[in-house]
């Protein structure tokens, strides 16, 4: 390693240590910034030390879970893996993941790198790390103030993947945008998809980013939708259609709140509560098989895998079942609404919406979620919280869904736990996740008795 690179690593590690010592955060972003200031080529230098292969995971929904599955599968096979576990998926966070994994001499000891990459950041990241494999989960609307309309995201991803022509793409061919990108990019690609209808009416909603043929512009016909624009499609004009996927999940069954399914002729019984995680599992499996690594004991690994990843957690607080869910864009939130409705029992619901930079300051996406279904959720009480609690309350009012608002999330949780249905759903967007998880963990440990 060049002397400049070693100095960059040393300074970045010192920055991380200082941040943690001062209790000023987790120290997973600023160190990357420091390293890049000293050595602009530090990411290319360090990623080049990965002995075998590098996989990047991109897409609007499912990146963090899919990346975690990839890492766990490779580790289960005895491989040494670098991963940005915290979801710090912008350039500085990715540099930090590499820098903080080095030894005292500034060198890496890694067989693989599993890196989650923000779609907008992909243009700057992919040319530097030149991944062997790029997995794309889907393309849909996200934070409007950062991403704009979905065509902007599409164009950014196209620029990114065409800058690394030797990278093999792993593509969700049920998504017309992802499949079209793969065909237009000229990169080699492998497809995965689900050919049977596994999503319910609430999941499917009416959120469609594009239902027009990417070849001739005519309206597509669908055999059925999974959700959004994902489904089995064909163009009646030019014949462009969803291909038969090279990897698929079959015989999907939901029993006792959990999904089981077959992949590659093998039956899997993982701890999956939401059908979207079937997609995440399938995509990771397709990537591992394509690379020829990390799949030999995949069944054993995935059936013990924790899909919560601090984004779907269940707590027992004073005898009440409390579920915490992350929802940060229209498609993701629609899946959570569907999950709530699959539970016929009486329940309480708290929805916390914030508008920090992490969340996206524009919360107009709330109008793209079909909240009218919550009127049928058998909810005793729906409470809105967060900096945009009144925006959320107004959205529910337009659907004739009764709610109240709170400035005290903890007190509202305790009220629902002590006086409610003993079945509480807490749905938060990104910036509220860590704090709420910490609060619920604390309440669970104390038996939910302290206000």
Residues identified as active-site:
362
Hey, what long-range contacts does 436-442 have (CB within 8 A, 24 or more apart)?
A: 436/324, 436/352, 436/409, 437/310, 437/313, 437/324, 439/409, 439/410, 439/413, 440/313, 440/315, 440/317, 440/322, 440/324, 440/413, 441/315
For helices 150-162 and 122-129, angle between their N-to-C axes, nearest 10 degrees: 10
Judge whether 238 is annotated as a binding position.
yes
Mutual angle of helices 91-99 and 30-38, in 10-degree steps:
80
11 among the known binding-site residues? no
DSSP three-state, residue 310? coil
Contact 425, 315 (CB under 8 A): no
Contact 243, 191 (CB under 8 A): yes
The residue assigned the tokens 């990390």 is: 294
DSSP state of 40: T
Does the annotation flag 133 for ligand binding? Answer: no
213 annotated binding-site participant: yes
Contacts by residues 258-263 (CB-CB < 8 Å, ≥ 24 positions apart) = 259/198
Give the pair of three-digit tokens for residue 119.
């779609």
Helix (H) or strand (E) holding 158: helix 150-162
Q: Take residue 240 and report the two structure tokens written for it.
A: 């462009």
Radius of gyration, CA atoms only, the chain = 22
Q: How far apart are CA 370 and CA 237, in angstroms?
A: 31
How many whole angstroms separate alpha carbon 225 and alpha carbon 321? 32
Short-list 344, 351, 347, CA closest to 420: 347
Q: Are 38 and 4 in contact (CB under 8 A)?
A: yes
Q: Which residues are annotated as a binding site for Zn(2+)?
A: 213, 216, 235, 238
Q: Which residues are annotated as a binding site?
A: 213, 216, 235, 238
């Amino acid at each position: 390693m060049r002397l400049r690179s070693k100095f960059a690593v040393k300074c970045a590690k010192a920055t991380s240590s200082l941040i943690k010592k001062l209790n000023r955060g987790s120290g997973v972003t600023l160190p990357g910034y420091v390293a890049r200031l000293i050595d602009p080529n530090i990411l290319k230098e360090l990623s080049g030390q990965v002995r075998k292969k590098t996989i990047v995971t991109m897409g609007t929904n499912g990146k963090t879970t899919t990346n975690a599955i990839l890492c766990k599968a490779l580790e289960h096979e005895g491989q040494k893996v670098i991963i940005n576990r915290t979801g710090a998926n912008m350039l500085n966070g990715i540099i930090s993941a590499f820098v903080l994994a080095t030894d005292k001499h500034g060198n890496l000891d890694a067989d693989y790198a599993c890196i989650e990459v923000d779609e907008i950041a992909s243009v700057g990241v992919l040319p530097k790390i030149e991944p062997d494999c790029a997995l794309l989960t889907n393309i849909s609307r996200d934070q409007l103030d950062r991403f704009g309309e979905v065509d902007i995201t599409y164009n950014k991803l196209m620029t990114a993947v065409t800058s690394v022509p030797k990278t093999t793409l792993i593509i969700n061919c049920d998504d017309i945008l992802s499949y079209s990108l793969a065909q237009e990019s000229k990169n080699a690609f492998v497809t995965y998809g689900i050919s049977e209808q596994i999503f319910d009416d609430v999941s499917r909603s009416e959120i469609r980013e594009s239902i027009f043929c990417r070849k001739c512009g005519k309206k597509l016909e669908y055999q059925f939708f999974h959700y959004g624009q994902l489904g089995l499609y064909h163009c009646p004009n030019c014949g462009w259609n969803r291909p038969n996927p090279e990897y698929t999940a079959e015989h999907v069954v939901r029993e006792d709140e959990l999904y089981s399914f077959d992949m590659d002729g093998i039956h899997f019984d993982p701890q999956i509560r939401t059908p979207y995680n079937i997609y995440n599992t399938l995509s990771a499996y397709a990537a591992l098989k394509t690379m020829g690594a990390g799949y030999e004991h995949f069944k054993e690994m995935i059936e013990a895998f924790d899909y919560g990843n601090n984004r779907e957690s269940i707590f027992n607080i004073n005898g009440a079942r409390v579920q915490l869910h992350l929802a940060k864009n229209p498609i993701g939130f629609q899946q959570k609404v569907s999950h709530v409705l699959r539970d016929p029992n009486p329940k309480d619901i708290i929805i916390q919406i914030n508008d920090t930079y992490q969340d996206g300051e524009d919360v107009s996406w709330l109008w793209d979620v079909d909240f009218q279904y919550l009127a049928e959720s058998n909810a005793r009480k729906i409470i809105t919280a967060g900096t945009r609690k009144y925006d959320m309350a107004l959205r529910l009012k337009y659907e004739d869904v009764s709610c109240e608002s709170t400035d005290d999330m903890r007190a509202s949780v305790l009220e629902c736990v002590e006086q409610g249905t003993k079945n509480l759903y807490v749905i938060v967007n990104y910036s509220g996740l860590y704090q709420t998880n910490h609060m619920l963990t604390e309440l669970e440990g104390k038996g939910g008795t302290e206000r």
